[in-house]
Amino acid sequence: MSLTDILSPSDIAAALRDCQAPDSFSPKKFFQISGMSKKSSSQLKEIFRILDNDQSGFIEEDELKYFLQRFECGARVLTTSETKTFLATADHDGDGKIGAEEFQEMVQS
């Protein structure tokens, strides 16, 4: 399964266009524009599974840096600042990584 099986390609493209400039990425805005914030819990778990590149059950800081590229190969890499802010927004238990439940809470909040 791919992200375009769950999210509209045109919504993904619009979300990526919105954050093309370095330091312009806002997770909340990206989730809204891409349509992720409207998805069911089971769909968000599947999105998480796709984004968890190493299938560790967590999205670590190294994976977050390439978050946009998981949606489109040619997308930019998140800046260090964006990556750290993104991680801080979702990492409620302070373990330095985002679990599936933390991801779902972040997307749906």
56 is in an annotated binding site: yes
Domains, the chain, in order of start with CATH, read 1-106 (1.10.238.10)
Contact 31, 16 (CB under 8 A): no
Beta bridge pairs of residue 72: none
Comparing C-alpha atoms, which of 64, 32, 33 is closest to residue 48?
64
63 is in an annotated binding site: yes
Q: What is the pLDDT of residues 14-40, one digit of tens each?
A: 999 999 999 999 999 999 999 999 999
91 is in an annotated binding site: yes
40 is in an annotated binding site: no
pLDDT of residue 109: 87
60 is in an annotated binding site: no
pLDDT of residue 1: 84
Q: What is the pLDDT of residues 50-79, one digit of tens each?
A: 999 999 999 999 999 999 999 999 999 999
Comparing C-alpha atoms, which of 25, 13, 17 is closest to residue 78?
25
pLDDT of residue 69: 96
